[in-house]
Amino acid sequence: MQTAKPIGEFRMHRIMCKNKRILLGVSGGIAAYKTPELVRLLKKSGAEVQVICTPSALQFVTLKTLSVVSERPALVDFFDADSGMWNHHVELGLWADAMVVAPCGSNTLSKMVSGQCDNLLLTTYLSARCPVWIAPAMDLDMYQHPSVQEHLQTLQLRGVHLIDAEEGPLASGLEGKGRMAEPAHIVDALNTHFEVPDNAWKGKTVLVNAGPTYEPIDPVRFIGNRSSGLMGIEICNALIQKGAEVILVLGPSHLPVPENIKIIRVETALEMFDACCQHFGQCDVGIFAAAVSDYRVAQASQEKIKKNHDSMQLDLIKNPDILSHLSQTKKAHQRCIGFALETHNAESFALEKLQRKNLDAIVMNTVGENSGFQSTQNSVVIFTKNQAPFASNVQSKSDIAVLLLEKLDDWHVVE
């Protein structure tokens, strides 16, 4: 069984939260007793902290304690009868540089998913424009329940960052995964977010493609695939942290996209091909994470096809291979990194694609229960022509993105 990370791993010297305004939402749960310590550590990292509790959180921690440690009145009600103050959730949401809900119990989690807002914490969450983190805490069987797992996944697909629950003894007496991440680990996650870019890729322009492509059959139907675009978007986030200029060519994806990068939205493989060809010339590196449709309908109908026959056939023709085309024609200084999505004989297919498409590296991922399409996690193996392959664990796609860039640096694939 995995054990929780030792608290000593918290890098106390990091004060990246300096002058950052952090909203701490505390929901009801035994882990709320740890939140005064969380506030203390956030303050020590230089942050201003505004605490908002749900009414049930007050069964586990007092407003007085949280107000004293945060040096601001901790809030629970929309209206304070004593001072006559109206606690405006929109203002609070706009004030913050980051919002953290810790502990995030199952009730608050499901309300965040469905958009319910029967308390100040939830209305503020809906108004917040800043990045949001959740640190769930619940008993182990609750945590494993499919509805909780689906809710966690939904929020992550909407761009909320998960600080995963940790393993250890639980208040129920059971032992397993469900404890709120240690306050030090929560602060570490925020510090990492606010860390100044390491600038290792400063001066480099990188083309990333991501998402599925949709190939029209008629005006209302298309051939598509299950790609969400998350892996490519996380690669863009990691590139921004490294100081790169990023151009993202994005197929139909509903996910929030990073700010301050050039984004070209496309729908079909041919549009993606054109956009990539147009921009790759000005780039040093191309990272091709898109799930491009291999075929398109030869003659898409201009009108909705009626169901006049018992069967029908679609004539499909091959789309151009964007990666192959650009990597075969790249200049000496340019690098191309491809992805290989496989269901069987994964390694041999990935190595074959590395050679055939003339790639500098290929990232192999398989479709599995906890990874691949529609998942917020992935596990990959990275191959190059002359390095021993590197296999990751099952990790969040944001961690995989960081790891990929680090490997490309370590192996001097990108210099």
Q: Which residues are catalytic?
A: 225
Tell me which amino acid residue 344 is.
H
Q: Compute how many other C-beta atoms are within 10 angstroms of the C-beta atom of residue 196.
A: 8
Per rule CB under 6 A, is residue 122 in the interface with ligand CTP? no
User: Mask 265-284, x = binds ligand CTP (CB under 6 A)?
Assistant: ----x---------------
Per rule CB under 6 A, is residue 227 in the interface with ligand CTP? no
Q: Compute how many other C-beta atoms are within 10 angstroms of the C-beta atom of residue 201.
A: 24
Per rule CB under 6 A, is residue 98 in the interface with ligand CTP? no
CA atoms in the 13 A half-sphere facing the CB of 5: 17
In the list 39, 61, 292, 414, the residue contacting ligand CTP (rule: CB under 6 A) is 292
Q: Compute how many other C-beta atoms are within 10 angstroms of the C-beta atom of residue 325.
A: 15
Per rule CB under 6 A, is residue 383 in the interface with ligand CTP? no
Per rule CB under 6 A, is residue 335 in the interface with ligand CTP? no
Residues 6+ apart with CB under 8 A from 242: 197, 198, 199, 200, 201, 202, 405
Q: How far is the CB of 259 from ligand CTP (least distance, A)?
A: 24
Q: How far is the CB of 404 from ligand CTP (least distance, A)?
A: 13
Per rule CB under 6 A, is residue 380 in the interface with ligand CTP? no
Closer residue to ligand CTP (CB): 136 or 338:
338
Of residues 341-370, which lie at the interface with ligand CTP (CB under 6 A)? Answer: 341, 353
Interatomic CA distance for residues 23 and 21, integer angstroms: 7
Per rule CB under 6 A, is residue 170 in the interface with ligand CTP? no
Per rule CB under 6 A, is residue 25 in the interface with ligand CTP? no
* Cis bond upstream, residue 131 (ω within 30): no
**Residue 150: φ, ψ to 5°:** -65, -40
Closer residue to ligand CTP (CB): 27 or 366:
366
Q: How far is the CB of 220 from ligand CTP (least distance, A)?
A: 24
In the list 201, 288, 383, 390, the residue contacting ligand CTP (rule: CB under 6 A) is 288
- Only one of the segments 101-109, 173-181, 219-227, 285-293 lies at the binding site for ligand CTP (rule: CB under 6 A); that segment is 285-293
- Site residues (vs ligand CTP, CB under 6 A): 269, 288, 290, 292, 294, 319, 321-323, 338-341, 353
